[in-house]
Amino acid sequence: QRKNPFSSDDRLASKPAHTHRGDPTYGRPPEGSRTEQRGKDAHSHVGREVEELCLIIRRTGEVGEDGHVSVTFGQLFETYVTISNKVVGILLRARKHGLVHFEGEMLWQGKDDDVVITLL
């Protein structure tokens, strides 16, 4: 559409044709767009879910000798699944941000019920 001489869409003409890997806007939606806003909203929603998960770990877990609160995956799954079915994804995000620790790459219901999750 950018090259179409009959196009009257001014939004297309004002945008650069291509961005390159070194460009800070590469792989990002245009500033002020609805896509950018949806991404920001999703990021804050996931952040709230991570906070809620940490609160549930604190409430349901037990304080260990090291002072950290720990809970097994099975116990956490049973408690948290009534709130959200994305417990494993939220746990992975919390670990990525250094809020929790557990062994293994992924946790599976049933198989990993005895894995200890520690709130950092």
Reported confidence tier of residue 8, pLDDT bands at 50, 70, 90: low
Q: At what angle do helices 87-96 and 34-60 cross, to 10 degrees?
A: 90
Pinpoint the alpha helices (H) of 26-65: 34-60
Q: Is the model's pTM score more than 0.95?
A: no
List the strands of the sheet with 62-63, edge to edge. 62-63, 69-72, 116-119, 100-101
Does 10 have pLDDT greater than 70? Answer: no
CB count within 10 Å of CB 102 equals: 20
Q: What is the pLDDT of residue 44?
A: 93
Q: Hey, what are 75's tokens? A: 């116990």
Q: Hey, what are 106's tokens? A: 């992924």
Architecture in CATH of 34-119: Orthogonal Bundle (1.10)
% of the chain exceeding 90 in pLDDT: 62
pLDDT tens digits along 97-114: 999 999 999 999 899 999
- What is the average per-residue pLDDT within 24-36? 87
How deeply is 91 buried, as exposed, middle or buried, from its count of CB atoms within 10 A (0-12, 13-18, 19+)? buried
